[in-house]
Amino acid sequence: MNIARNIIAFSEDSIGCGNCWLNNFAANENCSSEFLNKILLNKEEKNYSKGAYLIKSGVLVSGVYCIQKGTVKVFKKGIKNKDFILWVARKGDIIGLNSFINDEVYSFSASALEETSACFIPSSDLKILLSKKPVAFVKLMGNVCDKLNFVEQRITSISKKTIKEQFAEILITISRNNSESDKNLVINYSVKDLASFVGTTKNYLYKILVEFTDQKILSVNNRKFAISNMNALSLIAAGENKLPK
Amino acid sequence: MEKRNINKINVPHCSQCDSFNSSMFCSLNNVEELNLSDNKVHNLYKKGQIIFFEGQQSRNLFCIFSGKVKIFKLGDDGKEQIVRFAKKGDVIGYRALLGGEKYFASASVMEDAMICSLPKFTIDELLNCNSKFAIQTIKLLSKDLRIAEQIILNMAQKPVRERIAEALIMLKQYYGIDEITETINTTLTREEIANIAGTSTETCIRILSEFNTDHIIKIIGKSIKITDVHKLLKIANVTE
């Protein structure tokens, strides 16, 4: 039974945990992938089509997801059931960590923005890993710290910046994370998603988009945005256009 | 006179501290606790004094023995946005310490505070040896994250009036109510309340006086008394 499980785990590994957070961790802490596979017996790779939910808020926590491929939006439902995107997870990111730590129900939802494959690690397995390798806690902390930094930065932007400045800021964040593969800084989000990221309405965001394209900061092509003038965009994000010249 | 008295207070050993059992250090054993106590230094911070600045390198963990502290970030225009409060028994600056990073926000004192600072190496030692302490820390972190996520959600979607009502409720829950005067047990300036809700001082003053005329709150000088909690909850649109 156990051997059979091990074989499954191995074959899954060959699918590619290369960028996985756990594998990075394993490499840094000198524990072999055999060691990881022995502990993470029940991890499974799942595929999601666009729009499919990985996590629904309010459901009991069953584990965490490591993203292998694709992008996933992590969002909350606000008043009047409006979505608000907290952050966007990419290859190598891990979702559900803070709900796992507090051991309650998921406090957010996550759904795929494009074709996504994710590796599901059940809570029980992760707990065993943590009890055998307490150093992993420090890694987890780093992960949660990064999220907190980002969220606190957003709090400040939301209260001190105009929607336009915030939108510019978010475009830059998205493109920065994309840039390794996309040279043209293409952003492949729907207007609705972008609006719920900034926390505004679709119509208003559309207006800003038109303004940006008129100023040749963005170019829109087939529902994809490309940033053509990064300097102008970062000036807007920094609120420079407000200052007297 | 009062300030001189605070100066004379000797901060006890961690094990004798009132908030020891409810703080993140509750899982420490005797030896670890003694080590912590031996290495800590306590200082008095006056109202308005900055404990640490955004961008500074972190060397200490701060644990609040008494007093009240606000943690804020500066916007591009130099205006502050309060992200969190801290009171007796809370620990601040732990995030930068854990990551060995620079401080991500600044902390300043709202009411004279006695603060113990614990050097980085003792905390690192604890993290490596005591897994319960590590769990405690990460739980604290994820709790902070959840609260911060809720704040951005509110800021993005709730109108100012709701946010100010919510800020008042938050302050009441966090700091409690003074037994004699029945006011919220902290004195914030109007500007600070505006900075919690993420609005301008003018709007904050206007909405607070609206609440005052509607008999939802009573403004007594700088302190605020909540007279109609149900109405305030309804305005704040709080589900919990």
Lowest-confidence region among B69-73, B74-78, B144-148, B178-182: B74-78
Q: Are residues B109 and B10 in the same domain?
A: yes
Q: Are residues B97 and B170 in the same domain?
A: no
Interacting residues of B181 by C-beta distance below 8 A, sequence separation 6+: B220, B223, B225
Domain end point (choices B113, B147, B181): B147
Alpha carbon dihedral B88, B102, A175, A203, in 10-degree steps, equals 30
> CA of A111 to nearest chain B CA: how many angstroms apart?
17
Structural contact between residues A159 and B155, judged by C-beta atoms closer than 8 angstroms:
yes
Angle at A4 between CA A2 and CA A5, to 5 degrees: 65
Contact A78 B98 (CB under 8 A): no
Interacting residues of B41 by C-beta distance below 8 A, sequence separation 6+: B116, B117
Percent helix, percent strand, percent coil in chain A, to nearest 5: 50, 20, 30
Domain ranges of chain A: 2-149, 161-242
Choose the most confident range, by mean pLDDT, from A158-162, B15-19, B29-33, B194-198. B194-198
Contact B149 A151 (CB under 8 A): yes
> CA of B48 to nearest chain A CA: how many angstroms apart?
21
Residue B42, domain extent? 2-147
Contacting residues of B for A135, CB less than 8 Å apart: 128
Comparing C-alpha atoms, which of B212, B202, B176 is closest to residue B85?
B176
Contacting residues of A for B144, CB less than 8 Å apart: 148
B37 domain residue, yes or no? yes
CATH number at residue B169: 1.10.10.10
B202 domain residue, yes or no? yes
HEC letters along B118-138: EEHHHHHHHHHHCHHHHHHHH
B124 domain residue, yes or no? yes
Structural contact between residues B149 and A76, judged by C-beta atoms closer than 8 angstroms:
yes
Comparing C-alpha atoms, which of B184, B147, B161 is closest to residue B236?
B161
Mean pLDDT for the stretch of residues B160-185:
87
Choose the most confident range, by mean pLDDT, from A85-89, B57-61, B202-206. B202-206
Residue B205 predicted with pLDDT over 90:
yes
Q: B63-72: buried (b, 16+ CB within 10 Å) or exposed (e) per residue?
A: bbbbbbbbbb
Total Cβ atoms within 10 A of residue B203: 14
Contact B152 A239 (CB under 8 A): no
Q: Are residues B122 and B20 in the same domain?
A: yes
Which of B151, B153, B155 to probe the A interface (max A CBs under 10 A)? B153
Quick one: pLDDT at residue A143?
79
Contacting residues of A for B157, CB less than 8 Å apart: 78-79, 82, 84, 199
CATH of domain A161-242: 1.10.10.10
Q: Are residues B137 and B29 in the same domain?
A: yes
CA atoms within 13 A on the CB side of A179: 9
B152 domain residue, yes or no? no
| The residue count for chain B | 240
> CA of A73 to nearest chain B CA: how many angstroms apart?
14
pLDDT > 90: percent of chain A: 4
Question: B131 vs A15, which has greater pLDDT?
Answer: B131
Number of domains in chain B: 2
pLDDT band at residue B139 under the 50/70/90 scheme = confident
- On average, the pLDDT of chain A sits at 77
Mean pLDDT for the stretch of residues B100-107:
88
Residue A57 predicted with pLDDT over 80:
yes
Burial class (CB in 10 A: 0-12, 13-18, 19+), B171: buried
Query: Domain A2-149 adopts which CATH fold?
Result: Jelly Rolls (2.60.120)
pLDDT band at residue B16 under the 50/70/90 scheme = confident
> CA of B30 to nearest chain A CA: how many angstroms apart?
21
Q: Which two tokens stand for residue A173?
A: 């964040």
Q: Which two tokens stand for residue A57?
A: 């808020």
The beta-strand segments (E) located in A20-82 are 44-48, 53-55, 63-69, 72-77
Q: Are residues B176 and B143 in the same domain?
A: no
Mean pLDDT for the stretch of residues A36-45:
75
Mean pLDDT for the stretch of residues A121-128:
85
The residue in chain A having the minimum alpha-carbon distance to the alpha carbon of residue B198 is: A159
Comparing C-alpha atoms, which of B218, B36, B233, B221 is closest to residue B124?
B36
Longest dimension (CA), chain B: 57
Quick one: pLDDT at residue B8?
55
Mean pLDDT for the stretch of residues B111-117:
90
Question: B39 vs A80, which has greater pLDDT?
Answer: B39
B206 domain residue, yes or no? yes
- On average, the pLDDT of chain B sits at 85
Q: Write phi, then psi, for B171 (nearest 5 degrees).
A: -60, -40
Alpha carbon dihedral A33, A34, A40, A45, in 10-degree steps, equals 60
What does DSSP assign to residue A60?
A: B
B153 domain residue, yes or no? no
Quick one: pLDDT at residue A179?
55
Quick one: pLDDT at residue A181?
56
pLDDT > 90: percent of chain B: 16
Choose the most confident range, by mean pLDDT, from A14-28, A46-60, A141-155, A184-198. A46-60
Domain end point (choices B147, B171, B191): B147
Mean pLDDT for the stretch of residues B174-194:
86
pLDDT band at residue B109 under the 50/70/90 scheme = very high
pLDDT band at residue A24 under the 50/70/90 scheme = low
Residue B23 predicted with pLDDT over 60:
yes
> CA of B162 to nearest chain A CA: how many angstroms apart?
11
Distance CA A111, CA B230 (A): 36
CATH number at residue B88: 2.60.120.10
Q: What is the pLDDT of residues A80-105, one digit of tens each?
A: 778 888 888 887 788 888 888 876 78
Contact A239 B77 (CB under 8 A): yes
Quick one: pLDDT at residue B177?
86
Lowest-confidence region among A82-96, A125-139, B225-239: A125-139
Distance CA B195, CA B82 (A): 6
Contact B76 A151 (CB under 8 A): no
Pairing, β A72-77 against β A109-112: antiparallel
Choose the most confident range, by mean pLDDT, from A82-96, A134-148, A164-178, B103-117. B103-117
Contacting residues of A for B83, CB less than 8 Å apart: 152, 155-156
Residue B2 predicted with pLDDT over 60:
no
Write the ipTM.
Answer: 0.74
Pairing, β A44-48 against β A72-77: unpaired
Helix and strand totals (H; E) in chain B: 9, 8
Distance CA B193, CA A159 (A): 13
B48 domain residue, yes or no? yes
Contacting residues of B for A141, CB less than 8 Å apart: 98-99, 134, 137-138, 141
Quick one: pLDDT at residue A28?
58
Quick one: pLDDT at residue B94?
85
Q: Are residues B129 and B217 in the same domain?
A: no
